[in-house]
A and B are shown apart, each in its own frame.
Chain A
Amino acid sequence: MVSKPHGGRLVDRVAKGRSRERLIAEAREMVKISVNDSIAADAANIAHGVYSPLEGFMVQEDYLSVLHNMRLSNDIPWTIPIVLDTSPEELGDVKEGDEVALYYEGEVIAILRVEEIYGWDKREYVINVFKTDDINHPGVAKTMKRQELLVGGQILLLNDPPEPFEKFRLWPKETRVLFETRGWRTIAAFQTRNVPHLGHEYIQKAALTFTEGLFVNPLVGWKKPGDYRDEVIIRAYQVLIENYYPKDSVVFSVLRMEMRYAGPREAIHHAIVRKNFGATHFIIGRDHAGVGNYYKPYEAWDIFKEFPDLGITPLFVHEAFYCKKCGQVVNAKICPHSKDYRIYISGTKIREMILKGRKPPEYLMRPEVADVILSHPNPFISGS
């Protein structure tokens, strides 16, 4: 049986039929708030139940509770604040109780019923969420640039924001029907923001050995410069699954959600989200959602101890490496040989090879995957 939605009920805040048409007309008369791609994605994720039990952007009580206790004000586990920031200028004379229209790229996407307008302390936010206020942390840098007011309240989605990868996007209702139709009772979800190397394949297949299905669900959307482009990740997984995975046991779909690089807290967030898609298990490898040296390699494993009521089973898998003595990809738990025999599958090393136009060896990456990356004119996100 697929997982119960987080909080017990799959949220559906998508307007339909004549009611939607009426609301689109009404939205034209409302105060407009323009949102960026990450907020637009959050609005869609709220409405389609990805963030169940959230029905809107957080009000202050939930925001502070999540920040300090890693739980919503009703005690349900939640680790990353889902907030809508705006400026006093944009908000104008909007007050609590009003309805405002959220616009993305000039099109209305949702109506928000304003429950609360409140200020926030960005430093308090970053210290709690990212455990640092170092501006070199990409999540900190992005947060510090956000607007000074937060608006909380329930939303109703009128239009999905445009999705370039529409044919690879599934919502929780769809994955739940899909998993049930396939007869899967246990599903291991895998979160990623990277192209797959042999270490990823190893931990996914290790999980699939014990579950009936594997749900590979990469994030698309904002990521830091130097990360792989979305289209490269998607194409790389397509060729990997086509050539090396049992197709009836794997579901691949993308999730548009900002990567926060919040390490342990984000690991819990990623698990909750996949629970809402119906996954029963969630794979946690080394340095989940980490960046630089801000988090200890297995810090994300420890935080799960604080959530016995999470409702999805974490699968902790050690870092994979190629052992020359074993002649295969293994991990420290199952390989008795010394470090002299180990070749660590480092994403950074692979990236350096790609940047030099060199094909990573087959014990690091499948040749088909390497070809996809190398054939792209610029596989990495530009910027500094």
Chain B
Amino acid sequence: MSESERRGKYTTVSIPVTLYNRIRKIIEGTGFTSVSQFVTYVLREVIARMEEEKLKSSGISEEEKREIIERLKRLGYL
């Protein structure tokens, strides 16, 4: 397996040059080493938030939450 294959699959997206330049400046001195790394991070954050919103109704149901609270009470956590 080649190094590029190990790194995973990537594709290209276009963003305005002015935005690119703003990002480049803003990541100076942070742990981000490239605009792509920063953009990936931000997109992942936004998408995770959207998915989380979606999960609020499907991740832990109200019934499951009630059961969890009962168990936590029985165990003395609440």
Residue B32 interfacial (CB < 8 Å): yes
Alpha-carbon gap, A353 to B8, bound state (A): 52
Residue B28 interfacial (CB < 8 Å): no
Residue of B nearest to A166 (CB): B75
Of B44, B60, B64, which contacts A8 at CB under 8 A? B44
| Chain A interface main SS type | helix
- Given A173-B60, A308-B30, A75–B40 Cβ distance below 8 Å? yes
Chain B nearest CB from A280 CB (Å) reads 14
Q: Is the CB of B47 within 8 A of A8?
A: yes
Of B8, B9, B32, B49, which contacts A308 at CB under 8 A? B32
Q: Is the CB of A173 within 8 A of B68?
A: yes
Interface size for chain A: under 10, 10 to 19, 20 to 34, or 35 or more residues?
20 to 34
Contacts of B6 in A (CB 8 A): 61, 64-65, 68-69
Alpha-carbon gap, A93 to B37, bound state (A): 43
Q: Is the CB of B55 within 8 A of A9?
A: yes
Q: Is the CB of A10 within 8 A of B41?
A: no
Of A4, A167, A181, A309, which contacts B75 at CB under 8 A? A167
Alpha-carbon gap, A75 to B34, bound state (A): 14
Residue of B nearest to A304 (CB): B31
Within 8 A of A (CB), among B35-58: 37, 40-41, 44, 47-49, 51-52, 55
Q: Which of B31, B64, B71, B78 has the most CB of A within 10 A?
A: B31
A interface footprint on B63-74 (CB within 8 Å = 1, 0 otherwise) = 011001101100
- Given A177-B69, A181-B69, A305–B31 Cβ distance below 8 Å? yes
Q: Which of A10, A69, A178 has the most CB of B within 10 A?
A: A178
Q: Is the CB of A309 within 8 A of B49?
A: no
Contacts of B40 in A (CB 8 A): 75, 309
Contacts of B59 in A (CB 8 A): 9-10, 12
B interface footprint on A291-309 (CB within 8 Å = 1, 0 otherwise) = 0000000000000011111
Chain A nearest CB from B34 CB (Å) reads 12
Alpha-carbon gap, A65 to B9, bound state (A): 12
Within 8 A of B (CB), among A145-204: 167, 170, 173-174, 176-178, 181-182
Alpha-carbon gap, A305 to B29, bound state (A): 12
Q: Is the CB of A177 within 8 A of B44?
A: no
Residue A34 interfacial (CB < 8 Å): no
Residue B15 interfacial (CB < 8 Å): no
Contacts of B49 in A (CB 8 A): 4
Q: Is the CB of A4 within 8 A of B52?
A: yes
Q: Is the CB of B52 within 8 A of A8?
A: yes
B interface footprint on A213-245 (CB within 8 Å = 1, 0 otherwise) = 000000000000000000000000000000000
Residue B25 interfacial (CB < 8 Å): no
Residue B1 interfacial (CB < 8 Å): yes
- Given A64-B1, A68-B6, A308-B41, A174–B51 Cβ distance below 8 Å? no
Alpha-carbon gap, A73 to B71, bound state (A): 37
Chain A nearest CB from B19 CB (Å) reads 19
Residue A338 interfacial (CB < 8 Å): no
Of A170, A177, A307, which contacts B65 at CB under 8 A? A177
Residue of B nearest to A60 (CB): B1
Contacts of B9 in A (CB 8 A): 73
B interface footprint on A48-67 (CB within 8 Å = 1, 0 otherwise) = 00000000000001001100
Q: List 5 A-B contacts (CB under 8 A).
A: A61-B6, A65-B6, A75-B8, A167-B75, A251-B77
Show the binding face of A for B, using Cβ within 8 Å: 4, 7-10, 12, 61, 64-65, 68-69, 71, 73-76, 167, 170, 173-174, 176-178, 181-182, 251, 305-309
Show the binding face of B for A, using Cβ within 8 Å: 1, 6-9, 30-32, 37, 40-41, 44, 47-49, 51-52, 55, 59-60, 64-65, 68-69, 71-72, 75, 77-78
